[in-house]
């Protein structure tokens, strides 16, 4: 249960995926047909929806999560971990027909990674499920989604939430196929947060420097989104809307694992917005949280707590 002070804050509803990450840290990423020996194995909770929910909750957010897991040990363990993070699990669904999602992750000694995901029950989170959970949208202020659940569910939720006057934030990851994010969807999005690759796919403009990032962001705004933040890795993040654009520099740190840096950024940004911060200040706050996260291993386990970000 949330305490009274939490209940008075703006409420964040995260709708997305929950996975179990199986990670091998190895000297280098394997090439096709290659076996890399000498790695270290970790098993951590993950999934973009769950990662972002945990990041926001650790930073003081009043967070509710809608996701679908399998009726298996991974699903039961995820539920327990969410409750330990003080996330409202009232609307988490269990699927008897599909297993919980699993991600296999390789991380090399330069902190680069490659990931393969078996979505399992995440792929069966449907518009019908969202309609049955409509009360959760009614009781939220900000709705955060990603693309590890079916696109028809994302589209249905975005329209439903925006028509109810909710602030809808979309992290279009993993990268969608060209044309998947339509004008009909984007017109319901208050803020979209792609990385360089995702921005390029959505806009059709190759993103390789600041001017091309601005051009891509403006193209996405022209497609219907109100605000665009393109994360540019070590170069920072570009905030762009109809009135202006600004580059917020990244904070230099020694990275050891970048696996969930983007998820941490999105969760932190959403929490800052829920607190009423201006977008530019929200991006700066999120940049701090993401910088801390890449100095640690794991997905959810790398997300910092509020006191850490406040003194960073």
Radius of gyration of the chain, Cα coordinates, nearest whole angstrom:
18
Give the bridge partners for 20, in sequence order: 45, 102
Q: What is the DSSP secondary-structure string of 207-241?
A: --SHHHHHHHHHHHHHTT-SEEEEE-GGG-EEEEE
Contact 192, 170 (CB under 8 A): yes
Calculate the CA 243 to chain-centre distance: 26
Q: Which of 72, 257, 263, 310 is the catalytic position?
A: 263
Residue with the two structure tokens 């992290």:
171
263 is catalytic: yes
Calculate the CA 13 to chain-centre distance: 12
- Give CA separation, 184 vs 49, 108, 288, in Å: 23, 40, 33
3-class secondary structure, 57 = helix
By C-alpha distance, which of 133, 297, 295, 298 is closest to 308? 295
Return phi, psi of residue 267, to 5°: -65, -45
3-class secondary structure, 117 = strand
**Interatomic CA distance for residues 15 and 274, integer angstroms:** 16
Q: Annotated active-site positions, please? A: 263
């Amino acid at each position: 249960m949330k305490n009274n002070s939490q209940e008075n804050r703006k409420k964040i509803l995260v709708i997305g995926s929950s996975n179990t990450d199986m990670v091998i840290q190895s000297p280098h990423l394997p090439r096709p047909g290659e076996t890399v020996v000498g790695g270290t194995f970790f098993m951590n909770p993950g999934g973009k929806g769950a990662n972002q929910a945990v990041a926001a909750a650790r930073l003081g957010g009043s967070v509710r999560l809608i996701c679908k897991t399998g009726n298996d040990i991974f699903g039961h363990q995820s539920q327990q971990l969410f409750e330990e993070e003080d996330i409202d699990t009232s609307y988490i669904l269990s699927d008897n027909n599909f297993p919980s999602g699993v991600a296999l992750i390789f991380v090399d000694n330069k902190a680069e990674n490659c990931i393969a995901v078996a979505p399992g029950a995440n792929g069966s989170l449907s518009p019908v499920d969202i309609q049955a959970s409509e009360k959760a949208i009614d009781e939220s202020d900000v709705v955060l989604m990603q693309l590890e659940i079916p696109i028809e569910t994302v589209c249905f939720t975005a329209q439903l939430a925006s028509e109810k006057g909710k602030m809808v934030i979309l992290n279009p990851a993993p990268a969608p196929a060209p044309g998947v994010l339509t004008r009909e969807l984007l017109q319901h999005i208050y803020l979209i947060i792609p990385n360089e690759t995702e921005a390029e796919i959505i806009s059709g403009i190759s993103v390789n420097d600041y001017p091309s990032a601005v051009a891509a962001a403006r193209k996405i705004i022209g497609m219907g989104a109100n605000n665009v933040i393109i994360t540019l890795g070590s170069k920072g993040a570009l905030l762009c809307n109809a009135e202006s654009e600004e580059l917020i520099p990244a904070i230099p740190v020694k990275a050891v694992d970048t696996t969930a840096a983007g998820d941490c950024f999105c969760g932190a940004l959403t929490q800052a917005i829920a607190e009423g911060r201006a977008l530019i200040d929200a991006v700066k706050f999120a940049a701090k949280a993401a910088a801390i996260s890449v100095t640690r291993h794991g997905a959810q386990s790398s997300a910092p707590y509020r006191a850490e970000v406040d003194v960073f």
